[in-house]
Structure 1
């Protein structure tokens, strides 16, 4: 039986991105050896979206109040790459990781599988 998921973020600067998740987001972690940090994730959900060809996977972090979270993370030096916009399923923005990657942040406005 599957009992979890492991998300991988590819980075041009893995040390900076690991420090971001450890120090800025303050996610619990363990050192798997040699400074290779493995982070505990908050509760998660998965959606399958249509595509015409091979698609890249995306990471969306969820929060209860996107405006408050943007203010908090901006105060911690996080660079947001998109303004908060409304979509039918929630309010969304994105921020840059130190290694150059982009992560989305959204406040869901849809039913959540964890609400059942």
Structure 2
């Protein structure tokens, strides 16, 4: 019977694969890319869209688990984004927040150059 062997193999893969990739949690090193971007944080904070710079900083601080210290604006593909610098216990993070709806697009270790 090959079915139990196949099922056992699939079970083993499901236990191993979640640790692979580049999606370490926001509070850890590495980068987390949300595809599609997540509105989980803006919804939890009760912030209405579109978001302001200050609201983007609040969203980013919540998403990265730290304190937002600065934010800049960037336009990509005709959309406005805020790039927010957040200080966390595990190091500085850069959080990209879409201005249109407050969605978090990416959390990554900040460039310190």
State the TM bucket, normalised to the shorter chain: 0.3 to 0.5
> When the two structures are superposed, what TM-score results if normalisation uses the length of structure 1?
0.32
Whose strand fraction is larger, Structure 1's or Structure 2's? Answer: 2
> When the two structures are superposed, what TM-score results if normalisation uses the length of structure 2?
0.32
Whose helix fraction is larger, Structure 1's or Structure 2's? Answer: 2
Higher Rg of the two aligned structures: 2
